[in-house]
Structure 1
Amino acid sequence: MNNRLYVGNLAYSMRDESLIQQFSQFGSVTSAKVMMERETGRSKGFGFVEMGSDTEAQDAINGLNGRSVEGRAMTVNIARPMEARPSFGGGGDRGGYRGSRY
């Protein structure tokens, strides 16, 4: 198992400290991060929590998955590794002047 958790369906007002508060009742929280939009600084509605052990992570899943926090039922499960995104590469002819005279 893994001790890194995905936390979804968060209220947009949730911050890192709120996640720590919710999850610390199930053990030690190594890290907690609510993902934020770069441009606006607004929450994306999900985050990640790392618990001190696999047992604590499972306890947090059992205790918090589906629990209503700030009016929204949180989704808590084991975080999956990020999938590789396809590389579209660069380049290609985009037109314009390239040193030739038509």
Structure 2
Amino acid sequence: MSIYVGNLSYEVTQEDLSTIFSEYGAVKRVQLPTDRETGRMRGFGFVEMETDAQEAAAIEALDGAEWMGRDLRVNKAKPREDNRGGGRSSFSERY
């Protein structure tokens, strides 16, 4: 499972996010999505930590905290929904 981190400054780096989350445990991975058109960061990211307990501690401590001039939104990431189609079943499901 990973942690969603919203309302990030557009100046934040993966290293910045890793540093702040490492205060609560071992950070396995940090992902900062960028806009396909502009290459600019989209203002949110994802952090994976070593254990669920470390994730819970980071969420508890950082949700609503001010960092880099912004109030962070930090919670468990929801599974990504499949947005590939127009609501129809896939070819393999129909045949």
TM-score by length of 2: 0.85
Structure 2 residues without counterparts, runs of 5 or longer: 88-95
Aligned-pair CA distance for 1:86:
5.0
1:36 match: secondary structure:
coil
Aligned-pair CA distance for 1:36:
1.0
The one-letter code of the counterpart of 1:35 is P
Tell me the percent identity. 43
Residue in 2 aligned with 1:53?
Answer: 51
Aligned-pair CA distance for 1:57:
0.1
1:35 match: secondary structure:
coil
Structure 1 residues without counterparts, runs of 5 or longer: 90-102
Q: CA RMSD in A?
A: 1.4
Q: Does 1:71 align with 2:62?
A: no
Q: Aligned partners of 2:51, 2:86: CA distance in 1, in Å? A: 38
Residue in 2 aligned with 1:34?
Answer: 32
- For 1:1-102, what aligned pairs fall within 5 Å after superposition? 2=1, 4-88=2-86
Larger Rg: 1
Aligned-pair CA distance for 1:39:
2.6
Counterparts in 2 of 1:67 and 1:81: CA distance versus 1, 3 Å:
same
Q: Aligned partners of 1:86, 1:52: CA distance in 2, in Å? A: 31
Give the helix-richer structure, 1 or 2: 2
1:60 match: secondary structure:
helix
Q: Aligned partners of 1:20, 1:86: CA distance in 2, in Å? A: 31
Give the strand-richer structure, 1 or 2: 1
Q: Aligned partners of 2:56, 2:69: CA distance in 1, in Å? A: 23
Number of residue-to-residue matches in the alignment? 87
